[in-house]
A and B are shown apart, each in its own frame.
Chain A
């Protein structure tokens, strides 16, 4: 009994000491409640009140996340009895998630479809904040319970967001498909986690008992449990066996949400995947791990299949959003290359790649949203001749696409270069031939991606417009954000060291 009292006391002390490190998440929760109350009482009197609270609140959270760099020691802190771990890498992922959340909120402010739903926008903004909250927990999670909770947290809110446009057939369809696929993926993951718990007797994946338990049992049973658990993560990052939902959901969902889903959950999923792979490889020290070779082979194979499927299916798409969805699958493959070649340079390369991918992808979706606000279409046919009518935005679109392809002088080139060199380095160190094959496939896929990305500039500039109707001017807020993002993409392409120098952990 005395022993028990001591445990309770120490865990209470641990919990009380942990709160200070959770400031951004607590603020997000408070802002969420504030938004609901504001929507109830004052929304009629002050126009756009909820949106204003959301944007300013998320900006404050962004500052708080930045502040955490100073707050934590270099090796990171373990919080809430090893439920979550706040490390410098996790803060970088949180920065990226918060930035994309902010951009998406600004994007949603002026989106035509969202402004014209019968429901109004207030729920929408609060849900975006809640997804951000879940994603923040996802990048820090260290415990199977926390992993499951945060993934479900993000998924359930994303289903609602995807199906937000009631009365729009496509949005409803995408919501249903997302919800069904997502629920199956999370059920499979729960079963895998229960098996892992049975094999190891602990939910804490960084615990040595977790690795020892897995290593001591039959490799076959261990891999079944691990694969079932990984299925849920692969769903979040849209990697090969779980990528079928992506095209339909991305095409049907409101464009800001597509931009958000293609970036933020992928970032958090990759962060979680790295935590998980590291735990399976015995807490970061790869020497003597039973699973090192098999995880490396699995991830390399999945990277090859994912990018090949994504890039080749994108070739004959006529809807721009669907094309970008397949390109997002292809990019998941590229990021998985970095995870397969996971070493300390590997994580840096992944982080930089995710940054440039987020900038270019959100930018490209912003342009799609801009055009769809002007002529209410996302078909490639209707983009004909628009390059001359909207010169600034079209030039920015070309910059984003060049960056997504990975050509100099944009940031995408540097990102891809880092990923490739990390893979080559891992091949040099470990001598796994599959990694070399993966790099070859990566180069081939980059060439393939050129063909479909350049269909968009081709239509924008070289084809004649079908009609000569004068269209209304685009939105000023959109143009400003688009141009800023394009400038950032160019800047990081010319001076990548400005960001690489900051990422040191």
Chain B
């Protein structure tokens, strides 16, 4: 119980978030939408870490991990966006399906 809310609820919310993110990654055509899906998946992980970390009073490892994960997610997305911008300059599209310079 965290502030009267059972632990399961948090875990279910994060599982839903993760699945929504994965669905978006698999179904969307636009690279930006894929990035948003990735962001949802990362947030599901962070939510889990924070919730489980609440039971780890002495070392607080979960909260620390969550902080690092937030920073790294931002760094990763920044790099990915910069690369997508470059791709847009070259191909005039951000849809990975249409970016096919290399063939099998």
Contact residues in B for A191 (Cβ distance below 8 Å): 14, 18, 41, 44-45, 48
A4's closest neighbor in chain B, by CB?
B58
**Contact (Cβ within 8 A) B38 A177:** no
Kindly identify which residue among A172, A194, A197, A203 contacts B86, using a CB–CB cutoff of 8 Å: A172
**Contact (Cβ within 8 A) A145 B65:** yes
User: How far apart sit A184 and B31, CA to CA, in the bound complex (Å)?
Assistant: 12
Does residue A175 face the partner (Cβ distance < 8 Å to B)?
Answer: yes
> Given A159-B80, A191-B41, are A172 and B68 also a contact pair (CB < 8 Å)?
no
Contact residues in B for A194 (Cβ distance below 8 Å): 14, 44-46, 48-49, 52, 65
**Contact (Cβ within 8 A) B25 A184:** yes
Chain B: residues with Cβ within 8 Å of the partner, total of 46
Interface string of A321-339 (1 = CB under 8 A from B): 0100000000000000000
> Given A152-B76, A183-B80, are A195 and B48 also a contact pair (CB < 8 Å)?
yes
Q: How many whole Å from A99's CB to the nearest CB in chain B?
A: 27
> Given A191-B18, A191-B44, A197-B65, are A173 and B101 also a contact pair (CB < 8 Å)?
yes
Contact residues in B for A195 (Cβ distance below 8 Å): 48
Kindly identify which residue among B25, B45, B102 contacts A251, using a CB–CB cutoff of 8 Å: B102
Q: How many whole Å from A118's CB to the nearest CB in chain B?
A: 12
Kindly identify which residue among B25, B62, B90, B102 contacts A197, using a CB–CB cutoff of 8 Å: B62
**Contact (Cβ within 8 A) B101 A202:** no
B77's closest neighbor in chain A, by CB?
A183
B7's closest neighbor in chain A, by CB?
A198
Q: Which of A152, A156, A187, A251 has the most CB of B within 10 A?
A: A187
What does DSSP make chain B's interface, helix, strand, loop or mixed?
helix
B81's closest neighbor in chain A, by CB?
A179
Interface string of A163-202 (1 = CB under 8 A from B): 1001101101111110110111011101101110110011
**Contact (Cβ within 8 A) A144 B65:** yes
User: How far apart sit A169 and B79, CA to CA, in the bound complex (Å)?
Assistant: 17
**Contact (Cβ within 8 A) A180 B45:** no
Chain A: residues with Cβ within 8 Å of the partner, total of 43
User: How far apart sit A190 and B41, CA to CA, in the bound complex (Å)?
Assistant: 9
Does residue A342 face the partner (Cβ distance < 8 Å to B)?
Answer: no
Q: How many whole Å from A207's CB to the nearest CB in chain B?
A: 11
Q: Which of B11, B35, B42, B100 has the most CB of A within 10 A?
A: B42
User: How far apart sit A114 and B42, CA to CA, in the bound complex (Å)?
Assistant: 34
List the interface of chain B (C-beta within 8 A of A). Answer: 11, 14, 18, 21-22, 25, 31, 34-35, 38, 41-42, 44-46, 48-49, 51-53, 55-56, 61-62, 64-65, 68-69, 72, 75-77, 79-80, 83-84, 86-87, 90-91, 96, 99-102, 104
Starting from the known contacts A148-B68, A193-B45, 20 additional A-B residue pairs (CB-CB under 8 Å) come to A145-B64, A145-B65, A152-B76, A159-B80, A160-B83, A163-B83, A172-B87, A175-B86, A176-B96, A180-B38, A184-B34, A187-B42, A190-B41, A191-B45, A194-B14, A194-B49, A198-B51, A198-B52, A251-B102, A252-B101
A-B contact pairs, 18 of them (CB 8 A): A144-B65, A145-B68, A149-B68, A152-B72, A159-B80, A160-B83, A163-B86, A169-B101, A172-B86, A172-B91, A176-B31, A179-B79, A187-B41, A191-B18, A191-B41, A194-B14, A197-B52, A251-B102
List the interface of chain A (C-beta within 8 A of B). Answer: 144-145, 148-149, 152, 155-156, 159-160, 163, 166-167, 169-170, 172-177, 179-180, 182-184, 186-188, 190-191, 193-195, 197-198, 201-203, 247-248, 251-252, 322
